[in-house]
Structure 1
Amino acid sequence: MDPNEQPEPTLPPAEQMRQRRLAKLAGANNAASSTQQQQQPPQQSPAPPQASEEAQPSPKPSSSSAKDNERPTEIPNRNIDITPSSGTSSPSTNPSTSNPFSQLGVKNTPESRSGTPTVSDSGNNGTLKRSAPAVDKPSANATPPPPKKPYTASKEESLEDWSDRVLSDIFRVTLDESRAVDSRGNGGAKLTYLPELRSELEQSAEPSKLTTSSIDAAILEAARYVPATKPLLDYLLPCWKRVMRALKTTTRRPNPDRDAVLNEAKRLCMSNCIFAVTMPEYFGRDPNINHDSLKPYLLRHGDNEYGICADFFEEAISRVDEDDTVLPMFTGAMVQISDELATMNMNQDYKPHITSLVTYARYPKLLQALAHHDKFLVTPTADMTKEQLALASEERTILGPFFRISPLQTEVTKTYFTGPRTIDAGHKKQAQTALQMTLKAHQGDLATIINAFVRVKDARSKTLDWFAFIFNMNHKRRALQVRSDEVASDGFMVNVTAVLDHLCQPFMDNTFSKVSKIDVDYLCRNPRIDMSDETKLNADQATAEAFYGRKVGGESNFISEVFFLALAAHHYGLGATNSKLKDLDREIKHVESAIKHIEEQLAKVPSNTMPHRVIQKQHQNAVQAVEKAIALKYSIEGVVLDQSMQTVSLQFMRYVSVWLLRVASGTDYIPGRPFQLPLSPQQPETFSCLPEYALQDVVDNFKFVFRFIPQILISAVGEEIITLCITFLRSSEYIKNPYLKSSLVTLLFSGTWPIYHLKRGVLGDALAGSEFANEHLLHALMKCGVSSAFYDKFNIRYEIFQVLKCIWPNTVYQDQLSRESKVNKQFFVQFVNLLLNDATFLLDEALTKLYNIHDFQKQLRDQSLSAQDREKVTSDLEATESQCLNWMTFLNDTMAMMKLFTAALRDAFTIPEIVTRLAGMLDYNLEVLVGPRRANLKVEDPKKYHFDAKTLLAEFIDIYLNLGSKQTFIDAIAGDGRSYKPANFEKASQILSANLNAAPETAAAWDSLRKKIAEAKERLDQAELDLGEIPEEFEDPLMGDLMNDPVILPSRNIVDRSTIVQQLLSNPLDPFTRAPMKIEDVVPADDLRMRIEAWKAERIAEAKAKATADPMDTGSG
């Protein structure tokens, strides 16, 4: 059987319901009539589903009476008057304009030049010319038509009859006054009678049937019957859907003649759809921005009767080369969609707008046209500030509103987190999970859109320009104080970062095989990213300007373009949003404190008074402010703590790490290959002139993940991050910013935090077992520790000690530290000196706070203390307790580190340059812990501050015992004239035995050491007596002691070597002239030293001789 005679199947009830719902969601007034289709008898030809009755032309009355044949009354407000060929004007309002219809199949024949467009029929050699009245509408007095009879098709249907029936069904029109419905009969769609076209055909002695020659005229007449309140596309789009369904039905059994009819119907239907949008005057309509646009149809799904389907896209795009109105028709609609989306948030029905652009993005020609639209990029004007341009990048570009949609929009955060001050952890977690899922789907759509743009050559550059413009205008997002009305929003910037990370994924493989494609010459090829006002890694402004001023030829590849854009995105986008969490914490804490204060005031003011109402309003405003901040904080946490997003981000940062190492070293390093340290003294200018954030963002990103979601690092960290940290700590001169250097230590420190089964953290095992780390880590950490920039930053050394404590079980590091003390003696002395400084400072601070806490607690026990004084003392106590806890935490770890070092490196810690200082520190603090001031350290609940006097004393005793086998240490203790007191050692012995439950061998060793020190003290005292008065030329001018190793300073003054060593450790200046100097600048005063030794030998000999002679004199006496 001819497939054209097959009935159209009826949709099942479930599908009918789905279609009706889709139609309702799309805003249609009625459900798609295709869902109302009934099964037809087999002998009837197929007919597409009918459209809403509101979208089709109203039925025309019968023309059988004389009155009916009169010209219908004109509809007002129509611009175009299409008159018969004997008339004059053409449909165009401008006769001088070239005929726009010639490109769409409407031929400009001699007859049509008189004013009537004619349509050529590929299946007919003749042309049909008809005149159309301006606009017709039915007469109010028209005679009702006779009863309608359903149309029945013959089994042996001629092409002429078939064409009439099918075209009638498609366009819902008829030339047969007796037909009321389409070929489906009862229940079919209503048809509109076209009296004018019938009359013209009769006048031309042609059959009153629809053919390819009359389609255009039929559409034109039918379109005039569409109410002016309805867009013409509401009629024409369903016609398009019906003709496409008819075409797809005939493909089962091809029939060239019938296919030609349908293809002509398809061509003319599309032409009229384009005219309806681009030239409404053709249909006698005034321009109407709400009607003359594809926007509402693009927002509907392609399966919707009123939605733009793929067939429509493809047919329209096929005409682009011939019709220059097609692309503006689409781009104009997409601009309208973008403008509308700019006013929306994620709480609203934004999804159709996103889906429309996803669909639009399937067609390269449309993307190319959109990318070249005036609104694709912001065109700065002279009066626009950088802040206005920053906001415009989000709100006034075509793509901006699509990226602006985010759960971080203020209205959306309130929806996800209602009552955030009292929300429970479970509800918060559920809301954040839902937020992440929604955002992930949205970012997936955005990635699809941008991926399509960059695959179109002519659109790619514009798209990259758009990204670069965003970053160049939003430098203020990294300012210390950020105003939200001067920069793009967090949600927008996070989406931009996520999409650029997605673009980087194709080249971010685990083997780093494509890292070589990141071209450093990009920086000198007019880079899209403006780096002029960014701090450079190690270059001043002049050097950087000279570097970027040199231009390199060639064109940068896409990988390089995207890499540097993504690097900027992490700095101004995700990185800035991460840092905002700290600001929000401070803001929330501040406002909560203000609320507490307001509530206290409110309780003191009588209700129903003006002051009460004023304070109540303040309270309400403060609560709203803090709830807004908390909701935003929870939303940001939900976004930035998404594990999948941060995993991709970390993969990008791994690539940045490897790339930085390659640039700094000038090698082709990738993980697994050897890497040599130290780096060359000649720093590559390319590396020095890189923006500082290239390294800072890597560190910050890893630190953030280590702190909040370390579980994703177990499988996401490779050796490159360890290599990066060690390299720029070891060759720290490559980085100018001391705080950036210290952040590398913090990153290593963070990697040693225990997590799950990893007791030494994510990096601990790698640091202990890596050959590269074994060789370079210790020296790198010590170099950072002795840096003058961190002389008073003991917390950096605290982190260094934590890393060292983690790796200390590996004896390789113990051997290295011993070797450092011998090979790099001065370097080692500096390191230990700072360790002693830290211990001294921390002990002093922590114990002072304990004294203060003791006094405050004593005052609070005084019942006579006034309420006001009690409140002040309580406040002071709380502040001091917080400080004490901080200092004690650092102190306990520092003391533990000293125990490790002194146990493993007795020789190193008892060299002359160190031992005197170490002995003095130990003796001073021993007196604090066992002397008269010990009673002032007693506080209530000392564990609250991590303070245990017994444990602290035990650690000091362990350090004494670790070094007690060295005579130089014993002599240094005995020679400590300031703090050494035998009574303190005796008191420590008592406490050790009575309170510390020390092992017998420990107590015995302590007693032995105590006695050795006492004996040494006696010897030193006797030696001092033997020497007598020291000649002034032999005295150290700074310490007043006898010099043992005199040296000459650059200022020509002479001091003992140990004195100047200690001086330079604290202050690298000549103590006499304050000029900078190093220990290498001193010259040994050998002549003076020999004279001192000779004098000492002479005095000792005299003392011995006298001691020998004295007993004899006594005996004789």
Structure 2
Amino acid sequence: MSVLEEVLRVSKDPARSKGFHVLPEEFEPPLDVDQVDSILLYQLTENLELAPQPFAYLKECFERAQQQKRIARKSQQQDFGLLQEIDRLVIGYGLVLFQVEEFCQGEDNFLRYMSQIIAKTDDYTAFLSQLIQRAIQEDTLLELTENFLVTLKKYIDSLTLFNLNDSQVVSSVLTLFELFVSFKPVAALITKVSGFLAGYDVKPNQFEKVTLLGPILTLSPLNASVALQNYGDNLERTQQQTNMIHESLQTEHKMILDRLFFIMDKIIRGSNESRTDLLIYFAQIINKNHLRRGDHANANKLATNAFVTNIALLLIRFSQPFLDVSYKKIDKIDVNYFNNLNLFLDLSSETRMNSDFKEADEFYDKNKKNEDNKPNFISDCFFLAMAYLHYGIGGAILYEEKVTPQVKRMREEVGRIKRAAQSQDMFARFAAMQLPALEKSLQTMQSIKQALQGFFSHKTLQLEAFDFISGASTFLVRVIDPNHEFPFKQIHLPLIPDQVGVENVDNADFLRENAPVPFKYFPEFVIEGIINYTQHISKFVMSPMFGNPRLHSFIELATVILRCPELVSNPHLKGSLVQVLSVGAMPMRENTPGFMMDVFENNELVSGNLLYALLDFYVIVEKTGSSSQFYDKFNTRYSISILLEELYKIPDYRQKIIWQSRNNADFFVRFVARMLNDLTFLLDEGLSSLTEVHNIQREIESRVRGVAPTREETDKELQTKLASSERQAKSSCGLAEKSITLFNIFSKDIPAAFSTPEIVDRLAGMLDYNLASLVGPKCRELKVKDPRKYSFDAKSLLKSLCTVYINLSDQPEFISAVAKDGRSFSRELFDRSVHILGTKTGLASDEFCVKLQQFARDAQDQKIAEEEEDLEMVEAPDEFLDPLMFTIMKDPVILPTSKVTIDRSTIKAHLLSDSTDPFNRMPLKLEDVVPNDDLRHQIEMFKNKKRMDRG
């Protein structure tokens, strides 16, 4: 048998037909090199036995030719030449088969070839490599690449499912992409293949379906069908079982991402044009998916989490080389990037850091770079990655936040229907018919939720993401730095001098005017993406923030933003930032400091600026600009309180707080006033809600016993009201607990700050009122079932309140203020408190009880003395009385616009929470009031005369 017959599997001898194709009569023996072309043409176009798999036949001929080449000796030059010719023709015809679909018999030939290739991809790689090389030589590479990859896309589309669950097909598809882009000429032109870029009218949710790379970029555990298949079989599995599924999918996802990165990297390196096209493709997707961070987004109309998070992780990986810890290439990221013409990113609807759209547009129009000065790849890649961090990964975070309560509600509904189905009620039986569909929905939602948890607990991937965030944080501080020299030279804060005596909450125009350029015009998402990610990832046991040597970079950015109120105008972003820092401050275990505490203490930039930033923001967050601003501030201040409590344990921070209270009194008093306002409201709200819980619980118990109702509400309405009051009680009591802790801490070391004229009366009134609520005649109304459920511990709260009394017991102004409180002060309340804390519970030491009793005696004595003096002052003329407090003024001042005379301490107290004239609501600053010296002299003369008369 000749080499030709062996390689082409043909023969003229019918006896040798097994495994061979018998040639017709026109092929005369002996078969030689001159007949190879004719034989192959016959085989491919006329041999019906070969019709189903001509491409496979050529591949096998190619393999046999290679094998024969290895066997052939150099002496067998004739055979070697024959094999070379067979090689040339087989590869040539292989190329023709993927260029002319009708060349062979049958329809959909390309698709048939592809299914054979996918089934045994490893067997085809050598042959396909030769086809690509021949196409390069013949200048038909685009035609081959177009036909092959478009057919591959059609094949994927023809599958019922294409995801991680079909590992063999997925691996084959990725292998083929890898093979093609491994040839640089292919990588250079792959973006010209039909369907690589999407048309302008492609919907946000269609990119992953209609574009060439879409299907492979959705290969992720976050794919809904993958999640359902892996997590949906058992909704009651243990956490350990769930973790095993997480680990398996994480390993597979990591391998997929490595392969996807290889493919994208080859395209990036293919040519300038392919690099640009790939970035345009990524930008097209994210520009149309901004609603992924919208509150009312319809997930079905947007790109999937699987698709955009994969792209985000790939862009993050591309960014690693210029954001490494050496920062040698950080200067390659353009701080004026958004001044470039023809940006990939669409910023038309993006909120800016601290400017409006008009200002930003005017700035960019005025400072546009010329057409020749195009951004480099590093800058494009970085800012695309920032957009994907916010809208891609950030959208997945928002999705998880929404799906969690949905799963809870579905579980409750399924349980309710199952219980109701046991009854004979017709409506219950009808509802039970809906149960299978509802359980299926629950199974899907629960699976997606667990897949998201698996994604965010994938430490390797999240470490890469946080590494990017660390580098991005350093870059953003570099942008903020007026000289753009950070981190090689330290940034000096504040950037603009603090406005002494002016609250930044009412200083928005000044701050916007003085915000640094170009940072003030940056899109808000470059900060928001970082904040949303860190806020979410800090909740995970495997959080990449724990023990991370680059954590300081993020904390430095947070400190700069909080310290300089002109940088970011959105208080909600700063509120979320504070929340992240508070998580890092909280002790991880007993006697184990929070994971950020080391940076708080030892990083120079942070330790020098964080405290002032927190105190200032505590005041600023009074007004958030939203309809819910009154309630928004409490959660933010709760986070700040956690931070201040933990920072106070560090000696350097403790000294800084004491220094501020003594040397920046106006600033610190505003902070104390806000604490007092909040604590007053929260305790009132919390205790009132507990009283309502107590009353409703008693009513429900009475009705169960058959007692006639004493309230108008139905049983169902009562349950609804109870749930509402319970939520309010838990929220308010929990927030109040943290506020009273701060009062305990600060009033001990800096009591003078709590005894200033503008604060002390309100503080005394608040303490007295709540003391009466806890131990007075109505204290029984606070008795509820399981008080811990509401973060309420009456005895602990009582001790905290009494601790403040003791801490301030050496302040005459405070003793006087308590004594003057005619509404709630009573010495008997202190006696009752001592009995509860000392005798009854043992919560307080003898020394504590003695001090509290002594304070009560001092306040009682002061009360008697002041009552006698007040009787003598009854005859004071009306013009001597403060128009708000109705007490004799000590330091009367005239308000500039309303011309009303009021005591200086009264208007100072008012201005701590409202920067307007209380009589006409016009803007007012304390420095604008005019002393009424004539009236002050008259009042002093009146008092002196009364004292002389008394003497």
Residues 671 and 720 of structure 1 are in contact (CA less than 8 Å); yes or no, is this contact kept in structure 2?
no
- Give the structure 2 partner of residue 572 of structure 1: 391
Distance change in 2, residues 1:1100/1:398 (3 Å): same
Aligned counterpart for 1:263 among listed residues 69, 84, 95 = 84
* TM-score w.r.t. length of structure 2: 0.90
Q: Residues 623-661 of structure 1, C-alpha deviation per residue, up to 9 Å, x if partnerless?
A: 221121111111222123211111111111112211111
The amino acid across from 1:219 in the alignment is L
Aligned ranges 1:232-247 → 2 under 5 Å: 232-247=54-69
> Do the aligned partners of residues 649 and 233 (structure 1) sit closer, same or farther apart at CA in structure 2, a change above 3 Å counting?
same
In the alignment, what sits opposite 1:218? 39
Q: 1:496 to 1:963 in 2, by over 3 A?
A: same
2:659 match: 819
Change (3 A) 1:771 1:410: closer
Contact between 1:661 and 1:724, CA under 8 Å: does it hold in 2?
yes
For 1:1066, what is the secondary structure of its paired residue? coil
Trace 1:692-711 onto structure 2 (pairs within 5 A): 692-709=524-541, 711=543
Contact 1:899 1:959 survives alignment (8 Å): yes
Instruction: Give the Cα separation in 2 of the matches to 1:248 and 1:798.
Output: 77
CA shift digits 1:318-357 (9 cap, x unpaired): 4434353x53133212112123324433233333222211
Contact 1:299/1:355 (<8 A) preserved: no
Deviation digits for residues 467-504 of structure 1, max 9, x if unmatched? 11111111221221222331111111121112212212
Q: Deviations over 1:190-212 (max 9, x none)?
A: 363453131xxxxxxxxx43443
Find the counterpart in structure 2 of residue 797 from structure 1.
637
Q: Secondary structure at the match of 1:622?
A: helix
Q: Report the AA paired with residue 1072 of structure 1.
A: F
Say whether 1:209 aligns with 2:42.
no
2:437 is the alignment partner of 1:621:
yes
Choose 690-699 or 932-941, whichever is displaced more.
932-941
Matches within 5 A, 1:1028-1039: 1028-1039=874-885
Is 2:530 the partner of 1:685? no
1:554-565 equivalence runs, <5 A = 554-565=373-384
More displaced 10-residue stretch of structure 1: 549-558 or 989-998: 989-998
Deviations 1:882-903 (A, max 9, x none): 4323322222222111100000
Tell me the alpha carbon deviations over residues 849-899 of structure 1, each in whole angstroms, 9 at most, x when there is no partner: 221232233224321147995565455434433432332222222211110
Letter of the 1:688 counterpart: K
Give the partner amino acid of 2:16.
Answer: A
| Structure 1 pair 320–766 and aligned structure 2 pair: CA distance change class (3 A) | closer
Matched, 1:746 2:579: yes
What is aligned with 1:639? 455
Is it true that 1:552 corresponds to 2:369 in the alignment? yes
Unaligned 5+ residue runs, structure 2?
Answer: 497-510
User: Are 1:781 and 2:614 counterparts?
Assistant: yes
Q: Do the aligned partners of residues 1098 and 377 (structure 1) sit closer, same or farther apart at CA in structure 2, a change above 3 Å counting?
A: same
Q: 1:1007 to 1:707 in 2, by over 3 A?
A: same
1:350 alignment counterpart: 170
1:722–1:273 CA distance, 2 compared to 1 (3 A): closer
Change (3 A) 1:281 1:795: closer
Kindly report which structure 2 residues correspond to 1:433-472, keeping only aligned pairs within 5 A, or say none.
433-457=247-271, 458-472=273-287
Alignment match of 1:523 (pick from 306, 313, 338): 338
Cα contact 1:331–1:366 (8 A) shared by 2: no
Deviations 1:104-131 (A, max 9, x none): xxxxxxxxxxxxxxxxxxxxxxxxxxxx
1:971 shift after superposition: 1.8
User: Is 2:214 the partner of 1:369?
Assistant: no
Q: Tell me which of 157, 166, 170 is aligned to 2:3.
A: 166
- Which residue matches 1:902? 747
Query: Matches of 1:191 and 1:593 in 2, distance apart?
Result: 69
Q: Is the 8 A contact 1:281 1:287 kept in 2?
A: yes
Query: Aligned partners of 2:542, 2:352: CA distance in 1, in Å?
Result: 30
Per the alignment, in what secondary structure is the counterpart of residue 893 of structure 2?
strand
Q: Which residue of 2 aligns with 1:42?
A: none
897-906 or 672-681, larger mean C-alpha shift: 672-681
Work out whether 1:397 is the aligned partner of 2:211: yes
CA distance in 2, matches of 1:1088, 1:513: 69
Q: CA deviation at 1:966?
A: 1.7
Quick one: which of 181, 190, 209 aligns to 2:20? 190
Per-residue deviation, 1:316: 3.9
Tell me the equivalent position of 1:924: 769
Instruction: Tell me the TM-score normalized by structure 1.
Output: 0.77
The correspondence for 2:900, drawn from 1037, 1053, 1060, is 1053
3-state SS in 1 of match to 2:609: helix
Instruction: Identify, as 1 or 2, the structure richer in helix.
Output: 2
**Is the alpha carbon distance of 1:345 and 1:407 closer, same or farther for their aligned partners in structure 2, counting shifts above 3 Å?**
farther
Give 1:786 shift.
0.7
Q: Does 1:180 align with 2:16?
A: yes
Match of 1:736 among 561, 569, 590: 569
Q: After the TM superposition, which residues 597-608 of structure 1 pair with which residues of structure 2 at under 5 Å, given as runs?
A: 597-605=416-424
Bigger shift: residues 461-470 or 215-224: 215-224
Aligned to 2:501: none
2:350–2:523: 8 Å Cα contact kept in structure 1?
A: yes
Which has the larger displacement, 794-803 or 761-770? 761-770
Deviation at 1:414, TM superposition (A): 2.2
The letter for the 2-side match of 1:1010 is A
Q: Which of 779, 783, 797 is residue 952 of structure 1 equivalent to?
A: 797
1:394, 1:401 within 8 Å by CA — same for their partners in 2?
Answer: yes
Q: How far off is 1:312 after superposition?
A: 4.2
Deviation digits for residues 646-698 of structure 1 (CA, Å, limit 9, x no counterpart): 11111111122111111112344555852211124632332112111110111
Bigger mean CA offset, 897-906 vs 1005-1014: 1005-1014
Q: Which residue of 2 aligns with 1:762?
A: 595
Cα drift, residue 719 of structure 1: 1.7
263, 273, 285: which one aligns with 2:94: 273
Shift, 1:369, TM fit: 3.1
Q: Cα offset for 1:934?
A: 1.6
1:804 & 1:724 partners in 2: Cα distance? Answer: 19
* d(CA) in 1 for partners of 2:591, 2:407: 35
Q: Partner of 2:466 in structure 1?
A: 650
* Structure 1 letter corresponding to 2:453: E
The answer to whether residue 907 in structure 2 is matched with residue 1067 in structure 1 is: no
Amino acid in structure 2 at the alignment position of 1:360:
F
For 1:966, give the aligned amino acid: Q
* 2: CA distance, partners of 1:210 / 1:232: 21
Shift, 1:528, TM fit: 0.3
The 10-residue stretch of structure 1 (445-454 or 356-365) with the greater mean CA deviation from structure 2 = 356-365
Q: Which has the higher contact order (CA 8 A, sep 6+)?
A: 2
Equivalent in the alignment of 1:586: 405
SS, match of residue 324 in structure 2: coil
Amino acid at match of 1:230: P
Question: What secondary structure is seen at the aligned counterpart in 2 of 1:1055?
Answer: strand
- Aligned equivalents of 1:296, 1:1058: Cα separation in 2: 86
Identity across matched positions, percent: 28
Task: Specify the alignment match of 1:848 in structure 2.
Answer: 688
Which structure has the greater CA radius of gyration? 1
Distance 1:211 1:879 in 2: 94
Call closer, same or farther: CA 1:1040–1:866 in 2, change over 3 Å. Answer: closer
Q: Distance in 1 between matches of 2:485 and 2:650?
A: 27
Cα RMSD for the two superposed structures: 2.7
CA distance 1:377–1:339, change in 2 (3 Å): same
What amino acid is the match of 1:379? Answer: G
Aligned length: 909
Q: Residue 814 of structure 1 aligns to which amino acid in structure 2?
A: R
Partner of 1:939: 784
Tell me if 1:985 matches 2:830.
yes
In structure 1, distance between residues paired with 2:678 and 2:932: 33
Whether contact under 8 Å (1:295, 1:334) holds in the other structure is no
Segment of structure 1 superposing worse, 739-748 or 511-520: 511-520
Change (3 A) 1:567 1:840: same
- After superposition, what is the alpha-carbon deviation per residue over 1:427-464, rounded to whole angstroms, capped at 9, x for unaligned? 22222222222222222221111111111013211111
Residue type matched to 1:172 in 2? R
1:466 CA displacement:
0.9
Distance between the aligned counterparts of 1:281 and 1:701, measured in 2?
53
1:1015 corresponds to 2:864? no
